[in-house]
Amino acid sequence: MMRVNEKLRTLTVLVVVWAFVLGMAIGPQPARAIDLGGAVGDLVKIFGIGWVVDRFSGDINDTINNVLSQHEAEIAGATKVVPILRVGEGGGTAVGAAQVQGPREKVRQCQAVAELELEFGSLRGRALLPVSTKSNLTSTIRGISGVGVSANIKFPI
């Protein structure tokens, strides 16, 4: 009886070790776009724009680059989708998203696009500055040189 228990214990340990190694070898599955059939709007309402941008940034980025590729107007260099944060609201709350473009290392630094609203009479403008932080967004913040916005992503809620 003792011998059977010992065998079972050994077998269990072997199975557990094998499963662990298998998990290491396979690794986490990459995130894939799923057809939510319009559920993105619900996700935005429940979790907020920031969460949705974080979750779907890669897929939105690919969508934009595919459209550009179809029109033979691809961007040379790196691109990335980041949230747009309004200056003066303490940061943290995304009001939209933007695709930024530029040299790979500078795009990697970019964490968000700071939006600053300007008005001159009947002219209304929005400064869009790619920045390397998501906090302390004040009107004195400076953008990352060499990085620009290539697409404005709007969430109609």
Number of other residues whose CB lies within 10 A of the CB of residue 53: 22
Give me the least distance between CB of 9 and other proteins, in Å please.
10
Give me the least distance between CB of 128 and other proteins, in Å please.
6
Helix (H) or strand (E) holding 127: strand 123-131
Distance of alpha carbon 95 from alpha carbon 130, whole angstroms: 14
Q: Which of 142, 138, 82 is nearest to 112 (CA)?
A: 82
Give me the least distance between CB of 64 and other proteins, in Å please.
6
Q: Which of the stretches 10-18, 83-91, 133-141 binds other proteins when contact is defined by CB under 8 A?
A: 10-18
Binding residue count for other proteins, defined by CB under 8 A: 72
Contact 57, 97 (CB under 8 A): yes
Complex with other proteins: residue 44 or 91, whichever CB lies closer: 44
Residues 111-140 that bind other proteins (CB under 8 A): 122-130
Contact 111, 85 (CB under 8 A): no
Complex with other proteins: residue 70 or 139, whichever CB lies closer: 70
Residues 88-107 that bind other proteins (CB under 8 A): 99-105
